[in-house]
């Protein structure tokens, strides 16, 4: 259609989205001392956006695959995306690495956080905005981290408890 500028614009959007996913992954690895092998990381939200079970183009897929490739143990929770859909999206036709040994689907958030090294919020579900972090942090290993990629948690809420906190846009 001769819309080279429009095509170039959307190409750059895709590049920025890919860069942001890589940035989140690298930040998590860095904050967990450069080695996530054997670390238990809870992924809160797997869908592309809240209030849907659509995982197509979800940033969680790319980030989870990178974490799994580093031998992290992932515990995934999503209110609408089921276990089969999570496993299909992550493992699917992947023959490179057997991810299943390090992949757990958990519908109970407090149970998911047991012995977790980090929680990574990937989707802005209402359920995640009102979590009782004081109770959850007791179940987690120390030092534990919360990575909020959707900026849904008030930093003041976590200042009073023993959790390290990183939030997209706030560092």
Residue pLDDT, tens place only, 39-79:
999 999 999 999 999 999 999 999 999 999 999 999 999 99
Answer whether residue 21 shows pLDDT above 60: yes
79-109 tens-digit pLDDT = 999 999 999 898 865 544 566 789 999 999 9
CA angle in degrees (0–180, nearest 5) for 91-120-47: 55
Contact by Cβ (8 Å): 32, 145: yes
Whole-angstrom distance, CA of residue 81 vs CA of residue 44:
11
Find tokens 């659509």 and name the residue.
54
Measured from the Cβ of residue 11, the count of other Cβ atoms closer than 10 Å reads 10
Tokens of 52: 């849907």
Q: What is the dihedral of CA 104, 153, 161, 134, to 10 degrees?
A: -60
Task: Give the chain's radius of gyration (CA, Å).
Answer: 16
Residue 94 is predicted with a pLDDT of 56
Residue 96 is predicted with a pLDDT of 44
DSSP single-letter state for residue 147: E
Whole-angstrom distance, CA of residue 152 vs CA of residue 103:
25
pTM beyond 0.75: the answer is: yes
Residue 55 is predicted with a pLDDT of 95
Residue 41 is predicted with a pLDDT of 98
Question: Hey, which bits of 70-158 come out as E strands?
Answer: 73-77, 103-105, 118-121, 145-148
Residue 142 is predicted with a pLDDT of 94
User: With b meaning 16 or more CB within 10 Å and e meaning fewer, what string describes 61-92?
Assistant: bbbbbbbbebebbbbbbbbbbeeebbeebbbe
CB-facing half-sphere around the CA of 23: CA atoms within 13 A: 13
124-168 tens-digit pLDDT = 999 999 999 999 999 999 999 999 999 999 898 888 888 999 999
Q: Rounded to the nearest 5°, which phi and psi values hold at 148?
A: -105, 100
Answer whether residue 2 shows pLDDT above 90: no
């Amino acid at each position: 259609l001769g819309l080279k500028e429009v095509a170039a614009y959307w190409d750059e959007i895709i590049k920025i989205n890919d860069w942001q996913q890589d940035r989140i992954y690298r930040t998590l690895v860095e904050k967990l001392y450069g080695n996530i092998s054997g670390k238990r990381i809870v992924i809160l939200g797997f869908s592309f956006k809240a209030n849907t079970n659509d995982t197509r183009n979800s940033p969680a897929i790319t980030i989870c695959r990178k974490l799994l490739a580093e031998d992290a143990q992932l515990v995934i929770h999503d209110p609408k995306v089921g276990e089969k859909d999570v496993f299909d999206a992550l493992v699917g036709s992947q023959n490179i690495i057997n991810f299943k040994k390090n992949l757990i689907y958990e519908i109970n958030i407090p149970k998911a956080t047991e012995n977790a090294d980090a929680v990574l919020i990937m989707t802005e579900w209402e359920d995640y905005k009102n979590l009782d972090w004081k109770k959850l942090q007791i179940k987690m290993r120390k030092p534990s981290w919360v990575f909020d990629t959707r900026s849904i948690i008030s930093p003041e809420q976590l200042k009073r408890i023993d959790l390290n906190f990183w939030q997209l846009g706030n560092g």
